[in-house]
Amino acid sequence: MPNKNLFFFLLFLSMVAWGASWINVKIICHYIDVYEMIFMRYFISAVAMVPIIIMLKQSFKIDFKSFLLVVLSSLVLIVYMNFYYLGTKYGTASLGGAMVTTLIPINTFIILALMRTKKVTRRDTFALGLGAVGVLTMLNVWSLDSEEIFLIQNLYFFLGSILWAVLTIISSKSTTISPIVFTFYMYVVMIVLVWVFVIDSRAMVSHEYDSKFWINMLCMSLLSTTFANTVYFVGIEKLGAREVSSFSFLVPFAAIVLSAIFLDETISIAMVAGTILTIVAVKMLNDIKILKRKVR
């Protein structure tokens, strides 16, 4: 692949953008509710994806089975966005970015194992135990402070990670269209569902949005969603899933660092240690190659 180092840099920026989305939501939740955020975020993203899909020469054609999967995925993503929004609003962006992003692949593995599509080895059992210890460390469970552990936002984050794992499995069942086209239609269906059944368009128009709101909304829509997803999907196609997946380990650390910089959130040693433990668990479960492989 030409300019491979440049593409690695774009992947790095994409992971930082994904981590930054937790900071964006933390700020945006002071302006609008979750459904207004869903509508605005994915409307901007969907519009921006049209020229990208055309440029990549992907077909907009979709079969009936894929469309049903799109609708189901859209419903799951809407529910996920509620947990994502509420957890970040009442909790911290740093914990959400660290806990959810590291739990998603672990929960995906567990669900597939329960569906008996993955065989669980002793190594996997050890990795799952390590991941559990990592998450408990993030939650500072060792302090034995029940008020700190059993916070509602922690439940939101946990449920959100399960829903995204479910979304991952559902979307993987669509094999007749490209992931980026599937994602585009998922955004469109979400926009329609929210517009028709939930939001009040008159209330949205009456809101006053300042520059701080628009900077965060555009960063979340164009950078964290359109740009990052496009680079990730193209990367999987050109470089392979394993090499690209290694970059996803940057997401929780990006969320932690950016939360400290822009939100003045306190980053504990327990959170960092727990994140590292869960990342090691994810690597063991998925046999992801972190070290760069030689290109032949």
pLDDT digits (tens, 9 = 90+) for 213-236: 999 999 999 999 999 988 888 877
CB–CB of 283/248 below 8 Å? no
Which amino acid type is present at position 82?
N
Q: Are the C-beta atoms of 28 and 216 separated by less than 8 Å?
A: yes
**Tokens representing residue 218 in the block:** 């555009």
Residues 267, 90 contacting (CB under 8 angstroms):
no
Q: What is the pTM of this model?
A: 0.87
pLDDT band per the 50, 70, 90 thresholds, residue 205: low
Quote the longest CA-to-CA distance of the chain.
58
Distances (CA, A) of 135 to 105, 106, 184: 13, 11, 32
Q: Please state, in angstroms and as integers, the Cα–Cα distance from residue 69 to each residue in 230, 234, 284, following that order.
A: 20, 22, 30
Find out whether 97 and 259 touch, Cβ atoms under 8 Å. yes
As given in the structure block, the two tokens for residue 94 are 């740093």
| Token pair listed for 215 | 């900077």
Confidence band for 286, pLDDT divided at 50, 70 and 90:
low
Higher pLDDT, 291 or 287: 287
Q: Which two tokens stand for residue 16?
A: 């930082």
Nearest-angstrom CA–CA distance, 239 and 157: 31
Q: Kindly list the domain boundaries of the chain, sorted by start residue.
A: 4-286
Give the rounded percent of residues in the chain with a pLDDT score beyond 90: 47
C-alpha R_g of the chain? 19
The strand ranges marked E within the chain are none
CB of 75 closer than 8 Å to CB of 198: no
pLDDT attached to residue 146: 60
Look up tokens 């979304």; give the residue. Answer: 167
Q: What letter would DSSP give residue 195? A: H
Look at residue 293 and tell me whether its pLDDT is greater than 50. Answer: no
